[in-house]
Amino acid sequence: MLREVTATRYLNPLRTGGSVPGVVEADDLGTYVLKFTGAAQGVKALVAEILVGELARRLGLRFPELVLARFDPSIAADEPHQEVQDILKASAGVNLGMDFLPGAADFTPEVAADFPVDPLEAGRIVWLDALTVNVDRTVHSSNLMVWPTFGTAPAKLWLIDHGAALVFHHRWDDSAPDRTYDFKHHALGGYGPDTRAADAELAPKVTEGLLREVVALIPDAWLAQEPGFATPDDVRDAYVAYLLARARSSASWLPTDFPTRDELAAADARRAAATRRGRPDWLKQVPNLHGKPSAERDWSLRTE
């Protein structure tokens, strides 16, 4: 089972995603990025985080530890932003914590330009995303971190943010397990992902036993209200059946065609030029008031 901790100090919200997670300290002296049950995406996003993240870990990919974190909104009473306060007040009880990676940097196109990624590692990550229907790891929003970024230790890719995966669980009766999805703009597409080698390695590992081990980590309370299912275990059975069938039909959906990084850059340039052509002259001259974007995610531990 996932470890359980209690949040003891609320540090600050992260404004890099729609769910507005928060950084907290816990009674085990750890620091976590807390994803809240009261966020707009609801508990299905947390279910996807557990299922995809823990599956990734068991398949040998790097993913921060997850914990179940008890949260009392009173520890964040000084949070000044009303939108964030509304989320916090709606999230009393058990939420999902992800181990905070201090100094981690977003895998942006600027970082990617100089960061080596082995084609097999790229293929494994693309394969996992295709299996779990995670179409949200794109060149513009990679949901990948480079860590550590200090000392002499070589930096590695870490997977984060899988709340948008498992798109099939929003409409259980409307998505065949062998359905193909478009991964041409995957964040790692420019590294020549060897998805065939990844498929040969990983597909046999996705067994019923492995999937049951992962779905058992999801709290009953986050599955109890799923329409069309009588019990949480019925929902777990549905996840196992779908993903097992999808793993066994990988030949039907395996992504193998990716544009190169130069082709992606050229496509971005064409889109940017087309956008500029469509703007009035006065809008084309609007200066950048926000400064140069940083490659490092704003995971500072400031309090306000």
pLDDT per position as a tens digit, 67-120: 999 999 999 999 999 999 999 999 999 999 999 999 899 999 888 888 999 999
DSSP 163: T
DSSP E strand boundaries for 63-204: 66-71, 93-99, 105-106, 144-147, 156-159
Q: Rg (Cα) of the chain, in Å, rounded?
A: 20
The answer to whether the beta carbons of residues 19 and 8 sit under 8 Å apart is no
What distance in Å separates the CA atoms of residue 24 and residue 301, rounded to the nearest whole number? 9
Q: What's the number of domains the chain is made of?
A: 2
How far apart, in whole angstroms, are the C-alpha atoms of residue 18 and residue 10? 19
Residue 293 lies in a domain: no
What are phi and psi for residue 87, nearest 5 degrees? -65, -45
pLDDT score for 298: 45
- Model confidence at 296: pLDDT above 80: no
Q: Are residues 94 and 112 in the same domain?
A: no
Q: Is residue 176 part of a domain?
A: yes
Same-domain pairing of 115 and 90: no
- Asked whether residue 50 is assigned to any structural domain, the reply reads yes
Same domain, 27 and 42: yes
- The confidence score (pLDDT) of residue 230 equals 97
Starting at the earlier edge strand, list the strands of the sheet with 144-147: 105-106, 144-147, 156-159
- Do 115 and 200 have their domain in common? yes
C-alpha torsion angle, residues 62, 122, 144, 218 (rounded to 10): -50
Q: Does one domain contain both 123 and 83?
A: no
Domain boundaries, position 66 = 3-99
Judge if 41 and 111 occupy the same domain.
no
Per-chain mean pLDDT for the chain:
89
Residues 67 and 127 in one domain: no
Percent of the chain clearing pLDDT 70 (strictly above):
89
